[in-house]
Structure 1
Amino acid sequence: MTVSPLIEARAVLRRAARTAATLLGPLDFSLGAGERVAVIGRSGSGKSVFMRVLAMLDPSDGGELLWHGRRVERHAITRYRRSVAYVQQRPALIDGTVEDNLRYPYSLRAYRDARFDREHAARLVAAAGKDADFLSKRASDLSGGEGQVAALIRVLQLAPEVLLLDEPTASLDPQSARAIESLVQAWFDADRAARASIWVSHDPAQAERVGERRLTMHAGTLTDHRETRT
């Protein structure tokens, strides 16, 4: 029996709205369960466009996106986004405490069947190397690294299948960056058989740490280095 990839992009294309210039593709890509993929490339090469199309935050202008072997239809987009989580470089936090931010997703219709688990959140906080009072901190008082930790915990508590990490540590100090890497690794290790990640990074050393499969983006196209080896 052939197992379908978690995500598969077939001839996906993205153009600029104003100029119709090609930003991405057309390209093919697949992500299987148990894979950790790192994507590197220069600024403007299309990395963020690629990630946002995979997250279904931006529409594609051609091709199709499959999830578990089935095309993602309009009615399934909400469910897809629940399972395929996008983490950006500068996350938006609501006014209030860190705990308020962690509770926020459960107020949304997409998560009406789930409940906030404070003990689980506290374990994630501890795994990130933060003190117990981190949950009580005001979002407005957080450093950049602390804000990214809070945003990542907000996502991880929802147990997504796939993480799309768009340079989440680009503006952080090395210690904060390693805390983010450790959180993602712990999430992956908890269920390797069913989870996968794509991590966009500008740091080749980090790409080595966070990805066992490495891709390079150039002018909207991807080169898979495992496929170019002889």
Structure 2
Amino acid sequence: MSTHQLLNFNNISIIDEAGRTLLDDVSGSIYGGDRIVLMGASGSGKSLLLSALASQIPLTQGQICLAYANQMMDIASIPPPHLRQQIALLTQTPVMVDGTVRDNLMLPLGFGHHKAKQFDEQRHIAWLARFGKSADFIHQDITKLSGGERQIVHFLRTLQLEPTLLLLDEPTAALDTVSAGVLMSLVHEWLDEHRAYIWISHRTDEVATLGNHRWQMMAGRLECVPSVSVERI
């Protein structure tokens, strides 16, 4: 395991307005090269934890720190555009705008710190080809796409940003087995010793190959299952 810590979170809790504890004193650390599979029953807090780590929901207590500017810094102190460059959350419900696939792939490059990045159309065409899509797919109307195709666009739109930490909330749920395998391969090609991911999955065929660490959520609490040795696909 790499000794380069990317992120740590200590004693984080989220309590809603009704007084219900949704995340309960959760702590953990993520290092470069970590491939973490996050498991747990529906409603156990998996998606909420990813949203918290991406700073998309406020904490009731606790602290999340990211390796930034040569130190571990509270993410609340990091300018949001810079934080978005480091941490990317792939949700189950992609937000799309009217227009083409290309328009939607380009969307994040118009915001904040991503403005410095150039849109690489040929790279996207090559990626899409691996999903069995022709070169003209990039010009298709986004409203004509299936749920699985929209998820592929959402994934590639996120992958192009080259984040340090990728948070994946069941990214293959709407995909067939072949497309799911392509997505998994692209994630592993992106991964290196300075990057890491957390992947929520309920698919037993994925869990066996996805992670070198397994985390289990139970009623808002996090348990770390002993590390496992798994070959990358």
Is the TM value for this pair above 0.5? yes
Calculate the TM-score normalised by the size of structure 1.
Answer: 0.90
- Matched to 1:39, the amino acid is L
2:37 aligned partner: 38
What CA distance in whole angstroms lies between the structure 1 residues aligned with 2:184 and 2:169?
13
Q: Name the SS for the 2:79 alignment partner.
A: helix
1:60 aligned partner: 59
- Per-residue CA deviations over 1:109-151 (Å, capped at 9, x if unaligned) read 3322222121222232234342212211111111111111111
Matched, 1:177 2:176: no
> Could you list the runs of 5+ residues in structure 2 that have no partner in the other structure?
229-233
- Greater Cα shift, 203-212 or 19-28: 203-212
- RMSD of the TM alignment (CA)? 1.9
> 1:226: Cα distance to partner?
1.0
- Greater Cα shift, 48-57 or 108-117: 108-117
Relative distance call for 1:19 and 1:64 in structure 2 (3 A) is same
Matched, 1:51 2:50: yes
- Greater Cα shift, 122-131 or 44-53: 122-131
2:231 aligned partner: none
Q: Within 5 Å, which residues of 2 pair with 1:1-230?
A: 3-16=3-16, 18-68=17-67, 69-188=72-191, 192-226=192-226
- Greater Cα shift, 177-186 or 148-157: 177-186
Is the CA contact (8 Å cut-off) linking 2:26 and 2:221 kept in structure 1? yes
What CA distance in whole angstroms lies between the structure 2 residues aligned with 1:109 and 1:216?
34
What is the aligned-residue identity percentage? 35
Query: Runs of at least 4 residues of structure 1 off by over 6 A?
Result: none
Q: Name the SS for the 2:83 alignment partner.
A: helix
Relative distance call for 1:71 and 1:102 in structure 2 (3 A) is same
Is the CA contact (8 Å cut-off) linking 1:12 and 1:64 kept in structure 2? yes
Aligned length: 223
What CA distance in whole angstroms lies between the structure 1 residues aligned with 2:174 and 2:101?
20
- Greater Cα shift, 124-133 or 137-146: 124-133
> 1:3: Cα distance to partner?
4.6
Relative distance call for 1:227 and 1:172 in structure 2 (3 A) is closer
> 1:209: Cα distance to partner?
1.8
What CA distance in whole angstroms lies between the structure 2 residues aligned with 1:182 and 1:63?
35
Q: Name the SS for the 2:94 alignment partner.
A: coil
Calculate the TM-score normalised by the size of structure 2.
Answer: 0.89
> 1:158: Cα distance to partner?
1.1
> 1:4: Cα distance to partner?
4.7
> 1:227: Cα distance to partner?
6.6
Q: Name the SS for the 1:112 alignment partner.
A: helix
What CA distance in whole angstroms lies between the structure 1 residues aligned with 2:74 and 2:51?
17
> 1:58: Cα distance to partner?
0.6
Is the CA contact (8 Å cut-off) linking 1:10 and 1:65 kept in structure 2? yes
Q: Name the SS for the 1:92 alignment partner.
A: coil
- Matched to 2:138, the amino acid is L
What CA distance in whole angstroms lies between the structure 2 residues aligned with 1:208 and 1:79?
34
